[in-house]
Chain A
Amino acid sequence: MRVIEEGLHTSIQDLGRIGYRSSGFPISGPMDSFSMKLANYLVGNKENTAVVEMSFVGPTIEWTKDAIISITGADMVPRLNGKQISLYRPIIIRSGDILQFRTARNGLYTYLAIKGGLAISKKLGSRSMLVRTEGTGLLSRKLQVGDQIPINSITTPNIKLNWSMNPNTFEIYSSTEVIHYIEGPQADWFKQNQLDITEWSISTRSNRMGYRLMGDEIETTRTQQLLTEPTSFGSIQVPPDGQPIILMADSQPTGGYPKIGQVILADLPKLSQLLPTKRFMFERCTISNAYKALATQKQLLTKLSHTLKQKWEG
């Protein structure tokens, strides 16, 4: 496949890079792992297969090979040879087809999975784009006009690809926006409930590294500085200006700002998809409720993965 218009920030991502955080590398991987996994299940891939992640404004892609694809996540109004196509279903692509994405109508991140995956070599154990390094190749930068991304060859099956999913079932973009969090290691550095009482929105100065929040200033009760320590995808850090930053997929593995909270893992896909225009509330939850939410999400993914696997195996 060839990129003929690059979009805002289009990158290759698998489920992330494991084992290199202590060398300073972020875990990377998709911002919305739920949608990314669904994209892979829809085309019969393993969930860790590398996909193309697009951010807010998608690219235009010319196909130089036949393929079977699926599109999940934010709706960038995809058009195949000018004709609008649906998300959340497998789609047959013919060599020469043009697939065009536009600005996201809801959410921020869209995933394009290709049956069989991308024919590119791993770097440091992963096919997720490397950031803050100076390497070469398709994993060292966002995708650009003219990039040729080799895909693995597949044979078009003689079964009908007539299944689809209704994305509304997954409540990723539900209208009442509540993001749940558990208390962070330095929660007692701040006055109680400061995250919970005001509405927040995400600044446009946000990216895969961090989401900057806008709302009432969070006051600290301590003057001491934190000694730099490890962080997590979802850590809610509070810098001295009192405007929190949530560390996202490409965030640094260590940080020096106190962490008031941690977005529960089950809510990270939803948080990733929040548009800067939307307001949301934080709600504190217990660790056991965080586990329950994670287990529920995992059960749903497992069920969908089994169902879709059966479709492919006939």
Chain B
Amino acid sequence: MQFFTLAENALMLQLGDKVNTALHQKLRHIQKSIDRLQNPAIIETVIGYTTLVIYFDPFQTSHREIKRILSHCIDQTSSMINSQPSTIHQIPVCYEDSFSPDLSYVATTNGLTKQDVIKRHTDNTYLVHFIGFSPGFPFLGGMDLSIATPRKTRPRMNIPKGAIGIAGGQTGIYPSSSPGGWQIIGRTPIELVDLSNEQPTLLRAGDQLRFYAISKQQYLEWSGGKRSK
């Protein structure tokens, strides 16, 4: 366990240096117990794979005091780690040609057929470690490493909203269109961000998700239906 000064108004806690579910759950527990304190000097908390940052008002509190609060929360949570049931999202994905420009590449790189890649991508249950990079973008753990593929050497200027990608041993979903270097293997018609909602993202840290394959016809009906609402 290590503490770092991220900024005058931010303290970072690091627990370990490997991505795993138990560590994630511990970070989530600590985060929840800090949020429960509703300490007015604490502005917000954000977690990464093995880290938790507390952002605070440096005119109301100090790194030392935040470290004390954090240590107290860690002591409290160490005894109560258990895997609570979490939300499991079922995410429909169309893996058909027009939405999966890099599916063949991912298959060839790993000596598989496209069907194998789809099967392995849809067989696993993924954990949302945290949301970062852009609004609603989930950092997922749990991908079958037999479909791992390096990022593209030249990033695409525009990856469409809903694109499902692979980068190294990670898989993810682009909630809005953006440039990016991930290998694109499919697209979901699901909206991951709803700005009119106070909880604006569909996925949250600690949630689980599974992908399931849909046809192009189903994809079009899905997004068409959404639009006409």
Contact = CB atoms under 8 A, between A and B. Distances in A.
Interface of A: 18-25, 123-124, 130, 132-135, 140, 182-185, 227-235, 252-255, 259, 262, 264-265, 287, 290-291, 294-295, 298
B170 to A, nearest CB: 10
23 contacts: A21-B44, A21-B46, A22-B45, A22-B46, A22-B205, A23-B199, A23-B201, A23-B204, A24-B134, A24-B135, A124-B198, A130-B195, A134-B161, A134-B177, A185-B6, A227-B48, A228-B132, A229-B48, A230-B46, A230-B47, A230-B48, A287-B5, A287-B63
A208 B200 CA distance: 23
A198 B5 CA distance: 25
Contacts of B103: none
Contacts of A231: 6
A24 B43 contact: no
A244 to B, nearest CB: 16
Nearest to B45: A22
B150 to A, nearest CB: 13
Interface residues of B, number: 48
A133 B135 contact: yes
Contact of A132 (B7, B19, B178): B178
Contacts of A183: 5
B139 interface: yes
A254 B45 CA distance: 12
A20 B12 CA distance: 18
A290 B178 CA distance: 36
B132 A252 contact: yes
Interface of B: 4-10, 12, 14, 17, 19, 43-53, 55, 58-59, 63, 130-137, 139, 161, 175-178, 193, 195, 198-201, 204-205
B65 to A, nearest CB: 14
B17 A24 contact: no
A20 B200 contact: yes
Contacts of A134: 161, 176-177, 193
B51 A229 contact: yes
Given A23-B200, A265-B8, A132 B176 contact: yes
A24 B133 contact: yes
A255 B52 CA distance: 13
A22 B130 contact: yes
A232 B10 CA distance: 8
Nearest to B10: A232
B29 to A, nearest CB: 15
Nearest to A20: B200
A264 B8 CA distance: 7
Contacts of B195: 123-124, 130, 133, 135, 140
Nearest to A293: B8
A291 B8 CA distance: 7
A290 B8 contact: yes
Contacts of B63: 287
Contacts of B55: 21, 232
A124 B43 contact: no
Contacts of B137: 24
Interface centre among B4, B6, B50 (most CB of A within 10 A): B6
B200 A185 contact: no
A254 B48 contact: yes
A196 to B, nearest CB: 18
Contacts of B139: 228, 254
A245 B180 CA distance: 18
A21 B52 CA distance: 12
Contacts of B205: 22
A290 B10 CA distance: 13
A22 B130 CA distance: 7
B4 A185 contact: yes
A230 B50 CA distance: 10
Given A23-B136, A185-B4, A298-B59, 19 more contacts: A19-B44, A20-B135, A21-B44, A22-B44, A24-B136, A24-B175, A123-B195, A124-B195, A130-B135, A130-B195, A132-B134, A227-B19, A227-B48, A228-B133, A229-B14, A232-B7, A235-B6, A264-B8, A295-B59
B58 to A, nearest CB: 7
Nearest to B49: A227
Contact of B200 (A18, A124, A253): A124
A23 B7 CA distance: 21
A22 B7 contact: no
Contact of B176 (A133, A182, A235, A290): A133
